[in-house]
Every structure is written in C-alpha cells, then in structure tokens.
Amino acid sequence: MNILITGAGGFIGQALAAALVREAKAATITLTDVVEPAAPPKSMRTTVRCVQGDLASEAFCDSLLTKDLTHVFLLHGIMSGAAEADLDLGIKVNMDATRKVLDNLRTVTPGARIIFTSTTAVYGPPPKPGFPLTEANTPCPGSSYGAQKLISETLLNDYSRRRLLDGRIVRLPTVSANFAFGQRLGTTNPRSLQVLVRPGKPTGAASSFASGIFREPLNGQKSVLPVSKDLSLWICSPRTIVQNLLHARDIPAEAYQDGSRVVNLPGVTVTIKEMLEALKAIGGQEALELIEERRDAPTERIVKSWPTTFDTLKGKQLGFAEDGTLAQTLKDYIEDYGTGKT
C-alpha cells in the first residue's frame, strides 16, 4: 500500500499516521497539510514523507497525486463555524479542493481507494427530537459546512458507482477529548486551522468547545462553554475514530450492498451536563471550576442544527466499532497523553 493523508497536521491525521506506521502494512505514507505535518515515530518498514502545500493549487496536486497511490484519506477541511463565517473559503477548501483531488486521482490512479471523512451535519435538524436517523434519511444541511460536505459525498459516491474510484464515505460524530496532541508533536502553527480536527488551541469548528471543556481544565486552564448545558451531542472518542478509519480502508467494495458508500459511524449521545460530570469525575471540582459559561448565539444555532440520535445498524453490519463511555474516553486520554500539567 502507498497511502496519502490530507489534513494530516490535525489531531486525527496525526493519530491515524501513527497507527498506520505501527501496523507496518504500508510501503509509503505521505502526509500533507497547509503547514508541514509532523512525522510519526520512524519505522523500519514504512517510508514517511511530510509535504507542505495547498490542495487548491493545481500544480501542487499534480506533484502530490501520483500513480503509485493506492489509498487516500481525505481529512482536510474548513470546519463548521469557520465555513459559516466565510462561505467562499469553505467552498474553496471543502468543495473545490476536494473535487480537484478526486478528479486528479480518477485520472492518474483510477480505482484508488478513497476514505472521505464527512459529517453528521449533512442532515440538519431531525424531524423531531430524539428521532433516530439512518443513511436512508434525506439530508437537509443546516449549515454551509454540512452542505459542502454533502456535495463532496455525492461526487465521490458517483465516482464509485462509475468505478472511477473506490470510495468509503464515513460521517464522523463530534470527536470528544480532542486534546492538545499537536503541542507534543510541534504542530501548533496557527495556519493549521485549515485541517479537519486540529491540535492545540480552539478551532474554527462550532463544536471545538466539546474538546476545550476537557482539554483546558485538565491542563489547568480556563475554558468557555458557549452553549446551554442541556444541549446534546453525538460524539465518539479519537481511539475509536482512528480504528474505524482503518476499518473503512479494508472493507471490500462488494460489502456496500445498497449502492451507497455512505456510513454513519457509531457514537454515543451525551448532554453537555453529562460531559461536565465526567470532567469532574476525572479532574475533580478544581477542573470543573475552570469552566466559564458564556453563551454564544451563532455557535448555539449551529450546534442545535445537528442531529444527536442515530441508528447505526449499517455501520455495525459493516464491522465498524462502537464507542465506549465518555469516562473511558477521558481515562484513555490521560493514559495516552497525560494532563499536560507540570
């Protein structure tokens, strides 16, 4: 296998790259982002290349997308809040750059397996609270980010139907416990805002507070909660997201029997209040007192437009892993990265 990861400077990109190196199945792994990504620990069996570049550049895409590529993880993107604030930038990165990559790949290396990370924000609000959505429900995005991701989904699904590429479209839940992993790898340049799930500081994602209310207090820092504690989120841990991205790579095309390559990945529904209770259980009252409630109407509007309940039978039948509890996610984080306190 020769693998490319776009948006590789972000938290999920870095964790995925490290997992790929550990499994030692790939001959080469190329990591690219708008800032040169950090390289994972070296392997004797896998060559890792880190490349800085802009996927909106035709010249860069021509040099990056070579005929030897067999698998491509598309993780790049402008997140929800930033895409809503700057429509043209969201279109450029989430749609135009993605189409450019797909069109180059179908010409240069037809049939390559493409793992595209989409979002449950493609749906918009559910028909009624608690309604369990499936892949069969018609998306009606409540944000520009969801619309841009849905357009890219449709294109890759059609290219897969025509056997130009071999797509795997996974709609990610909000990634919980998305902590300052990048700070440990030297990837805190502010230009890394143009990646899917970003390390370190809060990002252009409307859901970035879901990471911040864990990350900052466990590092002894204050964090702002911009939404009501009664709101719910559909979330998943980083470990499970990476595990499921690897699984998506390995699913045979014939397993998608309904003709669609789209899968809603498993997750769990939690309220903000439950997240704060988990923070207190792990970090104590001291951590909880570092949360400042400061409502932000634009953020709350976007988050309220996201569905929070899913029937993920299709994903489970395809072998995607279910997530553990929120408390276990936090324990995993501390085990993997520590609290960051000195």
* Whole-angstrom distance, CA of residue 247 vs CA of residue 149: 21
Q: Which of 323, 320, 132 is nearest to 236 (CA)?
A: 323
Amino acid in position 166: D
Q: Which residue out of 145, 159, 256, 333 is catalytically annotated?
A: 145
> What φ, ψ does residue 172 adopt, rounded to 5°?
-80, 140
Helix axes 326-337, 208-218, angle to 10 degrees: 50
- Does residue 225 sit in helix, strand or coil? strand
Please confirm, yes or no, whether 145 is among the known catalytic residues.
Answer: yes
Burial category of 290 from C-beta neighbours within 10 Å (exposed 0-12, middle 13-18, buried 19 and up)? middle
DSSP string, 204-218: S-TTHHHHHHHHHHH
Which sequence positions are flagged as catalytic?
A: 145
